[in-house]
Structure 1
Amino acid sequence: MDEARLRFILARGMLRTVLARYAETPPQALNFTYGTRGKPALLNHPLQFNLAHSGDLLLLALTSGHELGVDVEQIRPLPHLATMAQDNFSPVEVKALYLLPEDQREIAFLKIWTRKEAFIKATGDGFKRPLASFDVSIDEPAQLLRAEGEDIQQWTLYHLALETGYVGALCINNGSLRIMSQQFRKLSS
Structure 2
Amino acid sequence: MLFELRTYDLKPAKAPVYLDNFRRNGVGLVTASLPLGGYWMTESGRLNRIQHLWIYDDFADRERCRANLSRDEAWMTGFIPGAFVDVVGQQNRFLKMVHGSGSVERVVAERRTVHANQTPEAAMFADTLHALAIHRDKPAANERTIALFEVLSGADTGHYITLSSGLADTLLAGASGAGEHEILRPLSLSPLR
Q: What TM-score comes out, normalization by structure 2 length?
A: 0.26
Q: Relative contact order (alpha carbons < 8 A, sep ≥ 6): 1 or 2 greater?
A: 2
Q: What TM-score comes out, normalization by structure 1 length?
A: 0.26
Quick check: which has more Rg, 1 or 2?
Answer: 1
The structure where strand makes up a greater share of residues is 2
